[in-house]
Structure 1
């Protein structure tokens, strides 16, 4: 995805407030060997880009004054109630250096799992994103969590996930739970009464 930004020289609360009134969002690019750069982005375009999942989990081409660089969205601040992005942070990416970032999990096939079909279990998502390490070129937009074999009372852990090639989960030595299937107490009672 491509993002167009403009270099800015003025910084501080007053300068940022004037930028926002003009429809722009202040931001910064940091990381790599170059010094941090202050930038301004089109506020409306950035607001709509942030609604796309791919914008959060992809390497972006950030263009400043005709020069493009590879970056990753690291943080952003939203206004409490207005449709306004207050600030955005981007990190430069080196194609030869591994990056650490969070990737969204997509849960698929819950409706055909034995837990749901046979036991009327409720599938709970314990994690919604997973911290991973990989080279920038191997960064997945999302990771699928296949629930098709999930039994009632069972769980899916990080070790059960099929990670794309070159992607390593950063779980700090723990096999974290990703999803669980539990039968609600009311359903179990109704089943016993029926028997």
Structure 2
């Protein structure tokens, strides 16, 4: 993982869908926009191969990026990125300018640790559920983490970890929690697994009982027929 991400971008004058299509088709460039920090938006173009390579690293989406536009460097983060629905191509990217002394709100991925040794799974036969794969945090750009780790080694069956229980580094906060306890969502849970074997076992027992009843009924019928024959 690189210490920082740097991209070269050029200003573009043409706007609109038609211009963007020509840019992608004829020059192998990705149309982009840079906005925020109280400055005018800038329409940019970035070489597809450079942007694609950066996107291969998960950290690209949660790190401050140095954009060099016409020889001037600007700090920014990725706000939105559009991909082609069927081709391995990037269609457009939105960058948001940041100032290093002002807090920003960014979606940061969650990395779940020790799932294979989780006590709820190993000892309780539970099943891990992950309602959240990322969390929105607020911090200064220089403190922005690549990801947040969630250790579930001690998670027991029927237990869960909420956003308020995440181990955040100093300087990081979760804006949603300011709104109250109702917004403290479950990040990961260990649920009781419903075993199909129990249902199958119950079905086998029932089948066995039915078979026994049939055998008993047949034996009683045969005995009755034998008695009737003797009487004749």
| TM-score of Structure 1 vs Structure 2, range by shorter chain | over 0.9
Matched, 1:147 2:152: yes
SS at match of 1:185: coil
Q: Which has the larger radius of gyration?
A: 2
Give the aligned partner of residue 15 of structure 2.
11
Alpha-carbon separation, structure 2, partners of 1:169 and 1:149: 23
SS at match of 2:10: strand
Uncovered stretches (5+) of structure 1, i.e. residues with no partner: none
Alpha-carbon separation, structure 2, partners of 1:85 and 1:47: 7
Uncovered stretches (5+) of structure 2, i.e. residues with no partner: 203-232
Give the aligned partner of residue 44 of structure 1.
49
Give the aligned partner of residue 127 of structure 1.
132
Please, which moves more after superposition, 128-137 or 13-22? 13-22
Give the aligned partner of residue 102 of structure 1.
107
Give the aligned partner of residue 39 of structure 2.
34
Counting helix residues as a fraction of each chain, which structure ranks higher?
Answer: 2
Give the aligned partner of residue 98 of structure 2.
93
State the shift of 1:148 in Å. Answer: 1.3
Q: Which of 151, 157, 166 pairs up with 1:161?
A: 166
Kept in 2: contact 1:120–1:187 (CA 8 A): no
Number of aligned positions between the proteins: 192
Alpha-carbon separation, structure 2, partners of 1:188 and 1:178: 29
Q: Which of 74, 77, 80 pairs up with 1:75?
A: 80
RMSD: 1.7
SS at match of 2:195: helix
Alpha-carbon separation, structure 2, partners of 1:180 and 1:188: 23
Alpha-carbon separation, structure 1, partners of 2:6 and 2:197: 52
Alpha-carbon separation, structure 2, partners of 1:185 and 1:153: 13
Alpha-carbon separation, structure 2, partners of 1:17 and 1:40: 12
Alpha-carbon separation, structure 2, partners of 1:13 and 1:154: 50
SS at match of 2:21: helix
Runs of 4+ in structure 1 off by over 4 angstroms are: none
Matched, 1:175 2:181: no
- Return the structure number with greater relative CO, CA threshold 8 A, min gap 6: 1
SS at match of 1:167: coil
Alpha-carbon separation, structure 2, partners of 1:163 and 1:28: 31
Q: Which of 62, 66, 83 pairs up with 2:67?
A: 62
Alpha-carbon separation, structure 2, partners of 1:12 and 1:185: 54
TM-score w.r.t. the length of structure 2 is: 0.78
